[in-house]
């Protein structure tokens, strides 16, 4: 409650405890649950439900979990899709099937070099992951870097040694980017 009070004083925003929900971690004892419920006046649930149409549960989000959101977005974009980019690259078929009118290499080539200037998403993703790799290696004062190092660097010195099966998808992607980019990191 002290932390919530500090938040209120710092931001000017007040937390509505009647609308608030909280969830316990698996390892919290029954006694501690009772104490936290009594002190905070916040209701605790096993499932937090949805916020802005997205499940905000404690479990790791998978493709299956996100499928509902993907379908919702697809429905909203279906009318747009058939008219714009699809028509240009795929002969106007809303399903995205058909013979491509332009090779992907031409589509991602910059306009000044005779291409269409469409951003190559795999390169953009690698660049963004490269920024995370750089932070992991050089910005240990950042909280998220400290958390990842505490979780994955225990008794180990390098990123490439940490691609364990139980690692998060985010960490696996950071390690994969490190493997691709390590020769060019200076």
Residues 46-98 have pLDDT tens digits of 777 777 766 776 566 677 767 877 888 888 777 665 555 556 565 555 555 66
Q: Which residues contact 14 (CB under 8 A, 6 or more apart)?
A: 8
For the ranges 124-138, 151-165, 166-180, which has the lowest average pLDDT? 151-165
Taking CB atoms within 8 Å and a gap of at least 24, the contacts of 136-141 are 136/174, 136/178, 137/185
pLDDT tens-digit readout, 100-113 = 677 888 888 999 99
**pLDDT at residue 142 tops 90:** yes
Nearest-angstrom CA–CA distance, 73 and 156: 41
Mean pLDDT of the chain: 79
Q: Is 9 left (phi over 0), alpha (psi -120 to 50) or beta?
A: alpha
The two structure tokens encoding residue 163: 């691609």
158 has a pLDDT exceeding 60: yes
Q: What is the rounded average pLDDT of the residues 13-35?
A: 84
pLDDT at 141: 93
Question: What is the three-class DSSP state of 61?
Answer: coil
Q: Decide if pLDDT at 129 tops 90.
A: yes
Nearest CA to 148 out of 128, 129, 165, 162 is that of 162
Instruction: Enter the pTM of the model.
Output: 0.47
DSSP state of 50: E
């Amino acid at each position: 409650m002290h932390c919530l009070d500090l938040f209120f004083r710092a931001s000017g925003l007040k937390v509505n405890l009647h609308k608030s929900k909280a969830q316990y971690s698996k390892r919290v004892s029954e006694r501690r649950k009772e104490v936290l419920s009594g002190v905070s006046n916040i209701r605790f649930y096993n499932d937090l439900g949805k916020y802005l149409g997205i499940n905000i549960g404690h479990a790791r989000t998978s493709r299956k979990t996100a499928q509902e959101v993907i379908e919702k977005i697809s429905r909203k974009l279906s009318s747009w899709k058939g008219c714009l980019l699809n028509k240009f690259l795929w002969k106007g078929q809303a399903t995205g099937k058909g013979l491509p009118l332009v090779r992907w290499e031409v589509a991602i080539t910059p306009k000044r070099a005779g291409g269409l200037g469409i951003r190559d998403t795999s390169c953009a993703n690698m660049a963004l992951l490269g920024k995370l790799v750089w932070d992991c290696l050089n910005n240990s004062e950042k909280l998220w870097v400290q958390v990842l190092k505490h979780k994955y660097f225990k008794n180990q010195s390098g990123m490439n040694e940490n691609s364990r099966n139980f690692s998060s998808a985010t960490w696996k992607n950071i390690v994969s980017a490190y493997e691709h980019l390590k020769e060019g990191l200076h």
